Structure 1
Amino acid sequence: MKEVQNVMQQLDAIRSALIKGDIYQSIPEKVLVVMDGVQYKTRRTHVVVPEDNESVLQRITAIDERIKTKGKEATISDEELDDLLRHLASPDSQVRDKGVFYLFNRLLRQTVLTPAQLIWVKDRLLQDDYLFAHILEPENDAVFLRSFSAMFLAGILYANRTFYHVLSTAELLAIERRVMAYTVIELDSRGYVDGKGWAHAMTHIINVWSELNETPEIQRADKILMMAIVLQAYRFSDNALAYGEDSHLTNVLISLMNKHQLYVDYCLIVLQEWQRSLLTMAPQDTVGFWNRWYNHNRFLQSLLLQPELPDKIADYLRKISDLF
């Protein structure tokens, strides 16, 4: 997908300049330039979704029973895995969320997947027709496939770090690179979708970010860049992030800041730039504007409630607390 490649190339340039020491404080603004430059489409195309809900639920139950019965000796075929991944596109929450998602977690926790299968699933989820399916189009049902692809990547990162230890540094960086691009491009940050269940793209992005932060193979410059991208995506969401995203973002941010003072300093840079922009912003009579305004307020209030909030951040937030 040409637009995805364009975004990744721009992010690569920012990353390279950061690693060389050519840029630092200006990263949030440069990320915003990339976000503003994405060329979205004005028309939807047909989203193909699986329609065999009853039969796939039976297959999921059968695989689940096999795992419970055989335990560590259980296996799953490549064809079954392919079938499960295809059903991430289902708009039926019983299939996607309570079916495929729960089963996949069990597969990872009990290390049912072979190392080769883990890598194969990772590669599949990173493909354009999964992580970026219909992403440039107006709001559509493909958000479920995109969002749950991100969520499954978080699970794979956790399983690799905890059990498998098979992904190379290059593979881990490739995951981060494409997830950063996904975070920049994704506009559909709806939480619960009536009749279809959780979309929760922002929450799932934060989950991947959390796992990448725990990955020692990824250097600090990458983690700073990812922090800036996630915070900018949260900041410019036109949807009301009122389904726990604020506290989830806060928890992951606190965990990262506790790892090194560098992350505390950079978080402060991002927060200060965010606050400066608000002071010069005129209110707009749009839902998007007010969603952004109150997303910001909920996030900062959530930060202030954190007992482990670094003093440097806490002092700044108290200083501006009258403004949110």
Structure 2
Amino acid sequence: MKQVQNVIQQLTEIRTALMNGEIYQSVPEKVLAVMDGVQYKTRRTHIAIPDDADAALARIAAIDQQIKTDGKAAQISDEALDDLLRHMASPDARVRDKGVFYLFNRLLRQTVLTKEQLLWVKDRLLSDDYLFAHIFEPENDGVFLRSFSAMFLAGVLYANRTFYHVLTEAELVAIEMRVMAYTVIELDSRGYVENKGWAHAMTHIINVWSELNETTELQRADKLLMLVVVMQAYRFSDNALAYGEDSHLTNVIINLMKKNRLYIDYFLIVLQEWQQAMLTIAPEENVAFWNRWYNRNRFLQSLLVQPELPEKIADYLRKISDLF
């Protein structure tokens, strides 16, 4: 997709400038400009959704049982793995949430995938047809495939860090850039979808970002940029992030700030920029405005109750606490 590549190119330019010391405090503003430049469509197109729920559940159960039986000798064929990933697109929570998700985690925990299969899965999840499926269209069921692609990428990163150790620095940077592009573009941040289960794109974005923070190959500038991208996506979500996203985001930021004082200082810059923007806006009579308002309140309140919150951040939040 040309527009995805344009977003990646813009983020790459910001990353390069940040690494070269050419920009620092202006990164939130520049990321927001990238977000504002995305052009969305007004019409939906047909979404190819698997319609074999019962058969898929039977196949998943059979694979799961075989893995339990075979133990360390367990294997999965490329065809079965492909079928599993395709069913991430299912709007049936039994298949997606309780079937594919749990089986994929078992495959990773037991290192059933070969190294070649892990790399193949990584490439499939990052592809336009998965991570960016129908992303420029109005709210649609494509969110399940997109969101779970991000979630599974977090699993791949964890498995690589813990067991496989096959991803190169260049591959990790490529994952970073495409996940950041997804975060910038994704507008559908619904949590639980009636009759269809969890979409949870924001939660899954935070999951994969958390894993990228744990990589030693990525530089501090990478992690600063990812912090800004995730924070801007959270800040400008039109949906109510009321399904634990606030505490999840808080925990990941706390863990990041433990790694180096630089992250504390930069997170303060992000908070200050957000606060300055809040002082200049007037209330609007629409759902999106009030969702954003209370998303912020929940997040800042979640930060304040964290026992490991750096004092520098806590002091600032106490100073502005009458405004949230």
TM range (shorter): over 0.9
Q: Give the secondary structure class of the aligned counterpart of 2:252.
A: helix
2:193 aligned with 1:214, yes or no? no
- Deviation of 1:142 (Å): 0.3
Whole-Å separation in 1 of the counterparts to 2:246 and 2:60? 33
Counterparts of 1:2 and 1:166 in 2: how far apart (Å)? Answer: 29
Aligned to 1:157: 157
Q: Which amino acid aligns with 1:123?
A: D
**C-alpha distance in structure 1 between counterparts of 2:219 and 2:45, whole Å:** 39
- Equivalences for residues 146-185 of structure 1 within 5 A: 146-185=146-185
Q: Structure 1 length normalisation: TM-score?
A: 1.00
User: Which ranges in structure 2 are unaligned for 5 or more consecutive residues?
Assistant: none
CA distance in 1, matches of 2:65, 2:253: 38
Q: Deviations over 1:35-56 (max 9, x none)?
A: 0000110111011100011111
1:299 aligned residue = 299
Whole-Å separation in 2 of the counterparts to 1:147 and 1:59:
23
State percent identity of aligned pairs: 79
Query: Which residue of 2 is the match for residue 94 of structure 1?
Result: 94
Residue pairs, 1:1-324, within 5 angstroms: 1-324=1-324
CA RMSD of aligned residues (A): 0.3
Distance 2:101 2:221 in 1: 32
Q: Partners in 2 of 1:178 and 1:21 — Cα distance? A: 23
Q: What is the one-letter code of the residue matched to 2:231?
A: L
Amino acid at match of 1:8: I
Report the Cα distance in structure 2 between the residues aligned to 1:246 and 1:72, rounded to whole angstroms. 38
Whole-angstrom CA distance in 1 between matches of 2:68 and 2:13:
48
- Aligned residue identity for 1:169: E
AA at the equivalent of 1:233: A
How many residue pairs get matched?
Answer: 324
After superposing on structure 2, the runs of 4+ consecutive aligned residues of structure 1 that deviate more than 3 Å are none
Distance 2:56 2:43 in 1: 31
Unaligned runs of 5+ in 1: none
SS of 1:258 mapped into structure 2: helix
